[in-house]
């Protein structure tokens, strides 16, 4: 049963607008500005190739983010399950009518853009888990039966994304979902049991669940020099570019690896490599500083939310953002296997930017309406 407490925390539209996290908006704009500059350089000074379209996506995305933030958090609370179900429908649609690109079927061609539902599903999983654990009585957190819904919320989209195939996104959904369960207070023994099952299942997954190209990526991670012109080419060239940047970099639009097209996917997955080659250690640390500031700001928002839904939602969305950045930068530095993980606001891409901005809009909605009363379970 769910009861409704007295309404609180209502604000006028003007008050909501003023209460927006303008410091966070400035940090997001700064990171996007770095992205425009990097994409302009990646296209050798051609604004219309990547930087221009990225800018034209960011501007409406900024308005969408602010609009989402202005919407009462109670609306997003009630829409959590419908949004999750809608994400599942889109993932099924990918299997039926999806656009095939680079050997995978991950997009739905809408004409004006190619939508990648798996990116939006990351948000839907966080929303659904935040609602579930907000309503779950504390006494049931240690119950084995209480794991059924979270495992469904995480497992079904992971299974559908694996069919695309997209191992990197599947792993990120699992990591964000497991982190949400931990933050909600699920017993550590459940995680220990899950880790044991994963260790037992890992060999079976390696031999029967992974494609050959995915296995090559993992093997190349441990020894990139074993195939420098094949599977190890991307990471080898990335390391050369980052190392050649030195302390101060080669200068804006002066990176030899990117200019001579040795650096693959320089506008998407390897955009941090291009930036580090041109701006060196100083530029790389500056970008990491902006990411860290956004990260800290997000957690500050989470711990000032009075309701559990907003608290968990903000934490989960920041985990998503952190995973994007950690996996992308770790990948291009050779610390993680190569997977398709864009760097938020910097890598060229439509759906990934839209998903991240929607996530920040939801987070700011939690902040603006942090005093709002939400439905709670009768038993706490």
Predicted pLDDT at 284: 93
Task: Please give the average per-residue pLDDT across 337-364, as a whole number.
Answer: 88
Predicted pLDDT at 204: 75
Q: Which ranges in the chain belong to alpha helices (H)?
A: 13-19, 22-42, 51-70, 73-97, 117-135, 148-162, 167-184, 188-204, 212-222, 233-245, 256-259, 271-302, 308-332, 351-368
Listed residue (191, 175, 119, 151) closest to 322, CA to CA? 175
Give the other-Cβ count within 10 Å of 269's Cβ. 25
DSSP 296-341: HHHHHHHTT-SSHHHHHHHHHHHHHHHHHHHHHHHHHTTSS-----
- Side-chain-side CA neighbours of 162 within 13 Å: the count stands at 15
Which residue did the predictor score with more confidence, 217 or 129? 129
Instruction: Taking the CA atoms of 188, 156, 69 and 360 in sequence, report the sign of the dihedral they define.
Output: positive
Look at the chain and report how many structural domains it folds into.
1
265: alpha, beta or left? (left if phi > 0; alpha if psi -120 to 50)? left
Cis peptide bond N-terminal to 78, omega within 30: no
* Phi–psi pair at 306, nearest 5 degrees: -80, -25
Predicted pLDDT at 379: 41
Which residues, including other chains, have CB under 8 Å from residue 222's CB and lie 6 or more apart? none
Query: pLDDT tens across 193-226, in order?
Result: 878 887 787 777 766 666 676 677 676 666 666 6
Query: pLDDT tens across 179-194, in order?
Result: 999 999 888 888 888 7
Task: Provide the domain limits for residue 90.
Answer: 2-377
Which residue did the predictor score with more confidence, 343 or 138? 343
Q: Has residue 47 got a pLDDT over 70?
A: yes
Give the other-Cβ count within 10 Å of 76's Cβ. 22
Pair 288, 260: CB distance under 8 Å? no
Query: pLDDT tens across 65-121, in order?
Result: 999 999 999 999 999 999 999 999 999 888 777 555 555 566 677 766 678 888 899
CA distance 303 to 375: 19
Q: Has residue 54 got a pLDDT over 80?
A: yes
pTM equals: 0.87
pLDDT > 90: what percent of the chain?
Answer: 45
Task: Identify the DSSP state of 5.
Answer: P
Listed residue (323, 271, 297) closest to 122, CA to CA? 323
Query: pLDDT tens across 266-321, in order?
Result: 888 889 999 999 999 999 999 999 999 999 999 899 988 888 999 999 999 999 99
Q: Has residue 160 got a pLDDT over 80?
A: yes
DSSP 340-375: --PPTTTS--SHHHHHHHHHHHHHHHHHHTTT----
145-154, long-range: CB < 8 A, 24+ apart: 147/186, 147/190, 150/177, 150/180, 150/181, 150/186, 153/84, 153/125, 153/128, 153/129, 153/177, 154/125, 154/129, 154/178
Predicted pLDDT at 2: 43
């Amino acid at each position: 049963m769910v009861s409704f407490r007295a309404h609180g925390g209502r604000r006028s539209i003007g008050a909501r607008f003023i209460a927006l996290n303008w410091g966070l908006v400035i940090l997001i704009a700064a990171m996007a500005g770095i992205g425009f500059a990097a994409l302009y350089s990646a296209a050798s000074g051609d604004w219309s190739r990547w930087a221009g379209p990225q800018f034209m996506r960011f501007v409406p995305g900024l308005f969408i983010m602010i609009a989402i933030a202005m919407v009462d958090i109670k609306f997003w609370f009630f829409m959590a399950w419908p949004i999750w179900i809608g994400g599942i429908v889109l993932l099924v649609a990918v299997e039926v009518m999806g656009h095939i690109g680079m050997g995978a079927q991950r997009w739905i061609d809408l004409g004006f853009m190619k939508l990648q539902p798996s990116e939006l599903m990351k948000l839907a999983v966080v929303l659904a888990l935040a609602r579930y654990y907000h309503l779950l009585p504390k006494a049931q957190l240690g119950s084995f039966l209480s794991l059924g819904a979270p495992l469904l919320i995480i497992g079904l989209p992971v299974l559908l994304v694996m069919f695309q195939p997209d191992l990197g996104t599947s792993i990120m959904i699992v990591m964000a979902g497991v982190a949400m369960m931990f933050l909600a207070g699920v017993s550590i023994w459940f995680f220990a049991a899950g880790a044991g099952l994963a260790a037992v299942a890992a060999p079976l997954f390696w031999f029967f669940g992974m494609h050959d190209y995915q296995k090559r990526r993992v093997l190349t991670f441990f020894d990139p020099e074993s195939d420098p012109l094949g599977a190890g080419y991307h990471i080898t060239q990335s390391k050369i570019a980052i190392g050649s940047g030195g302390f101060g970099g080669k200068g804006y639009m002066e990176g030899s690896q990117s200019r001579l097209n040795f650096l693959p996917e320089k506008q998407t997955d390897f955009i941090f490599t291009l930036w580090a080659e041109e701006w060196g250690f100083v530029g790389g640390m500056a970008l990491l500083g902006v990411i860290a500031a956004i990260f800290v700001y997000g957690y500050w928002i989470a711990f000032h939310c009075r309701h559990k839904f907003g608290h968990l939602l903000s934490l989960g969305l920041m985990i998503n953002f952190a995973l994007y950045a950690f996996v992308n930068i770790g990948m291009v530095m050779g610390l993680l296997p190569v997977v398709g993980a864009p760097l938020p606001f910097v890598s060229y891409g439509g759906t990934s930017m839209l998903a991240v901005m929607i996530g920040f809009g939801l987070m700011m909605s939690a902040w603006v309406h942090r005093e709002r009363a939400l439905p709670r379970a009768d038993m706490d």
